[in-house]
Structure 1
């Protein structure tokens, strides 16, 4: 068992116990402790505190790299909509059923909002609070105590940020919940943010500059997340300072080739500030990464094609909006062909089952973001799906089974074609985000020239070749909030940032109504925050003061 597997195993053990023992008061109140262990017996030693600290990371595996997490953080935005099998929350079915993608499914009893966002974030916070309560009496070495506290306080800030951005005024506490509590508060957003900033400052001051355990909190991770949070709150000077510090002081660097970011043998590269490490031993994960299958079209029913490991497991859940495809100029920008799959090659080994004239390795399917004339189709053996086959003139999908597919999360190392789970890591914070934070902060401070400089650094990396780098540059007059959002879409499509980007910039409604025809008639002002899970409302006794968010 390697170091990462030991870390994951310890986290998994503590996660399993903590979810039953340490559930937040307004979460599920069913408690069961099969081993008879108590919080005190686990957290009265240095090893127990360290295991608890490791355990706090595990709750990220409920959201990041999961179908539900992609639905909550990418879908229902301007750049993604539902594929044929998107279904409604927690089930599969032929779209359009009421879904998160078009906001009809964003209701108080949505199981994904509860089980993959609310509950794990609060369980993580409660584990942090419990560990912090015990860290001073557990015999932790004096030199190590502030490092562990920095990790714990960072993770509390991380989970509270997800909650306060998602739900607005929320139940808030810094004390562990050690028994059933049925009274819940609604703490104002500003007050929650005060604690987030305080926790992050402690992490910045006390976390180590680097860590040999990949994924553990470090000073640059704390600074990078601080930059994101300060930008979210419109504190542009602080956001800029933190982003610049991360860019300039820790040795991070952009990968020369954008496509290399997504190679499975290159996950731990110099561009990744913080990654969520999924173990190659799938048993150590709380459900593995399924991102490879979420954005993939149904290729395996097409002539000349079989489902295989190389081409992926097609869950046909999420597809790009027409708007997203049109954001790219692939003649200059490498990110389109590095991010999306347009061509599938014949892998049917039985010649009798292949279309006449198609050999093994020939093109079997071609999806195009452009119209292909009937003349150009003449004589082609392979299947063609052009922009007009897939999308109607208003952008509504006409074919939700066959479309240009995001390929960033492919995993050719899966054990078999039937294996849906992947050991691919999730990139939680990449270096380009710091450039975009700096650009947005500079723009908001009235310095568009500096903003354009940061954006151009990222765009030049995305140039097809060195000869056209200058063609990728923009001028100060081109810098707008919408341009930054467009550029972030080109860079981060599918990486579970989009919903936060649109909410932060107050552009969610506007851009969904402009660019997502599936959702435009359903999204309302109140969708800027999510519904409090109905089970939480049902569990509290102070129903007169603890109420549902408006509109739900």
Structure 2
């Protein structure tokens, strides 16, 4: 592994601010002297959450890569950095700056989780109480590996605390199938030991682990297990304090975060607070409108990840989720203007609607909406319903139960900020298996728009040639299904450790 990863793996007891979680900075301490009680164990687990809430991970590098790789967001400002354009345009090289920073940060999360799991063995306390805390670390490790394996395929798998860098300097890749098996094992442990509820949604619960199990099984095409896990969450939603929020907009307002019952796991940022790249969130400016004067974010956004007009035109204007998800007006020189005029007020603006989920309400934030107070939802109850519907339709085509889950989401979408509409209509019984599958995938695209899910759907369903073909939402003639479903492994990793070669096909 490269030097950066070695350092991060060895330094993962550095615990920094992570929103609602109470913790103390513990510095870089030897595990045998640090782990004394459950509070110490929780502090180590919190370190993994802190590494998630960073610019190199959820604050920009991972999330922007996922946005641009899908077909719901394209490059807006053509003056933005080449590394972003290359991710978007399927022109990535193995030295792309997005992956060379995302990669070690992922292993920092894993390293912190491994330190906590190792440290748990050093604490002599009630096993049930200890397992309830260490299960959070198992979830964090599974969470990081689940993103890595979908992005890169075969990857180094480290499931132990690193005390000597030489133990990982010549590590080999683990086959993706084996990585998935390990992810499932970690999530099963987490499901068994995590509590039904937590003080904050930024700590995983039994339902969180179960929902991610359902997602993993769906990705692997094991539809029965995907349905079973999703159904477990649905059947126990009251016990887990889960439900669909009445107003879709409320999910994307930071001030509402503490009261929401739909999220299963959030990555929390503290507005105007950071330690280096930790705590630094750039999603509001990256998706915001260049030079906008609405006051949502001082100085407007950067117009980096912007939907194509195809995305806007394909989405019915009668769908409230479109209104919540897209910004179509802005203020320039004190006057309101439609998106067709955005480029008139900045030489780096574009005449397209912009993503609104993060820029419209950045909460407490700095210039351009940086350092927001968003609690980013990585999994919510709506997705559990979608997983259950898709998996059940594969098992029993056109099942009434599957249709019912989609209709729950559509019923919520008809609530336009307290005013009930008659669109989208319920799905009628009698729909064919193939038609229902297409409808469910479209429903995922709209319900979860810009929530970093679409690329993974394109990949698992092998939709690339359709999505990026001439009739797709974001045409890219150079999309290559033999290359582009995987990112390249970082080239500097491979040059330092020949055991990681060869790179993924086409790189």
Q: TM-score range by the shorter chain?
A: 0.7 to 0.9
**Residue 163 of structure 1, CA deviation:** 1.5
Structure 1 segment 422-433 matched on structure 2, within 5 A:
422-433=372-383
Per-residue displacement from partner, 1:219-272 (whole Å, max 9, x unpaired)?
111111111111111111111121122123133111222122222321231111
Per-residue displacement from partner, 1:186-244 (whole Å, max 9, x unpaired)?
21122112211111111111110011133112111111111111111111111112112
Structure 1 segment 302-321 matched on structure 2, within 5 A:
306=293, 308-309=295-296, 313-321=300-308
CA contact (8 A) 1:307 1:417 kept: no
**Who is 1:367 aligned against?**
339
**Residue 6 of structure 1, CA deviation:** 7.5
**Residue 518 of structure 1, CA deviation:** 5.2
**Who is 1:341 aligned against?**
327
**Who is 1:61 aligned against?**
53
Q: Does 1:160 align with 2:160?
A: no
1:73 partner SS: helix
Q: Distance in 1 between matches of 2:468 and 2:396?
A: 27
**Who is 1:31 aligned against?**
none
CA contact (8 A) 1:88 1:100 kept: no
**Who is 1:530 aligned against?**
487
1:176 partner SS: coil
Provide closer, same or farther for how the CA distance between residues 445 and 60 of structure 1 changes in structure 2, counting only shifts above 3 A.
Answer: same
Q: Does 1:130 align with 2:115?
A: yes
Larger Rg: 1
Per-residue displacement from partner, 1:111-153 (whole Å, max 9, x unpaired)?
211212x212222222222322231223344332111221111
**Residue 85 of structure 1, CA deviation:** 5.0
CA contact (8 A) 1:299 1:402 kept: no
Provide closer, same or farther for how the CA distance between residues 455 and 419 of structure 1 changes in structure 2, counting only shifts above 3 A.
Answer: closer
Q: Unaligned stretches of 5+ in structure 1?
A: 18-36, 92-97, 301-305, 349-362, 369-382, 390-397
Q: Does 1:279 align with 2:234?
A: no
TM (normalized to structure 2)? Answer: 0.85
**Residue 416 of structure 1, CA deviation:** 5.5
CA contact (8 A) 1:254 1:270 kept: yes
Per-residue displacement from partner, 1:423-465 (whole Å, max 9, x unpaired)?
1110111111011101110121132233322212212211255
Q: Distance in 2 between matches of 1:175 and 1:507?
A: 37
CA contact (8 A) 1:327 1:490 kept: no
Q: Unaligned stretches of 5+ in structure 2?
A: 1-16
2:492 partner SS: helix
Structure 1 segment 136-215 matched on structure 2, within 5 A:
136-181=121-166, 182-215=169-202
Q: Distance in 1 between matches of 2:112 and 2:362?
A: 36
Structure 1 segment 493-508 matched on structure 2, within 5 A:
493-508=449-464
**How many pairs align?**
473
**Who is 1:521 aligned against?**
478
Q: Distance in 2 between matches of 1:64 and 1:336?
A: 27
**Residue 523 of structure 1, CA deviation:** 4.1
Provide closer, same or farther for how the CA distance between residues 364 and 248 of structure 1 changes in structure 2, counting only shifts above 3 A.
Answer: same
2:184 partner SS: helix
- Give the stretch that moved more between structures: 501-510 or 282-291: 282-291
CA contact (8 A) 2:204 2:264 kept: no
Provide closer, same or farther for how the CA distance between residues 197 and 65 of structure 1 changes in structure 2, counting only shifts above 3 A.
Answer: closer
Q: Distance in 2 between matches of 1:193 and 1:313?
A: 41
**Who is 1:108 aligned against?**
94
Provide closer, same or farther for how the CA distance between residues 155 and 267 of structure 1 changes in structure 2, counting only shifts above 3 A.
Answer: same
Provide closer, same or farther for how the CA distance between residues 156 and 308 of structure 1 changes in structure 2, counting only shifts above 3 A.
Answer: same
Provide closer, same or farther for how the CA distance between residues 345 and 474 of structure 1 changes in structure 2, counting only shifts above 3 A.
Answer: farther
1:434 partner SS: helix
Q: Distance in 2 between matches of 1:426 and 1:467?
A: 28
Provide closer, same or farther for how the CA distance between residues 219 and 312 of structure 1 changes in structure 2, counting only shifts above 3 A.
Answer: farther
2:104 partner SS: helix
**Who is 1:28 aligned against?**
none
Q: Does 1:262 align with 2:234?
A: no
Q: Distance in 2 between matches of 1:462 and 1:7?
A: 32
Q: 1:549 aligns with which of 481, 504, 507?
A: 504
Q: Does 1:540 align with 2:494?
A: no
**Residue 418 of structure 1, CA deviation:** 5.2
Q: 1:222 aligns with which of 205, 209, 226?
A: 209
**Residue 64 of structure 1, CA deviation:** 5.5
**Residue 289 of structure 1, CA deviation:** 2.5
**Residue 490 of structure 1, CA deviation:** 1.1
Q: Distance in 1 between matches of 2:183 and 2:354?
A: 37
**Residue 280 of structure 1, CA deviation:** 3.6
Q: Does 1:442 align with 2:386?
A: no
1:75 partner SS: helix
CA contact (8 A) 1:308 1:417 kept: no
Q: Distance in 2 between matches of 1:173 and 1:500?
A: 23
Kindly report the root-mean-square deviation, in angstroms, between the aligned alpha carbons of the 2 structures: 2.8
Q: Distance in 1 between matches of 2:342 and 2:109?
A: 47
CA contact (8 A) 2:72 2:473 kept: yes
CA contact (8 A) 1:130 1:175 kept: yes
- Give the stretch that moved more between structures: 220-229 or 47-56: 47-56
Structure 1 segment 381-392 matched on structure 2, within 5 A:
383=341
CA contact (8 A) 1:82 1:400 kept: no
**Who is 1:81 aligned against?**
74
Q: Distance in 1 between matches of 2:412 and 2:376?
A: 21
Q: Distance in 2 between matches of 1:138 and 1:280?
A: 35
**Who is 1:487 aligned against?**
443
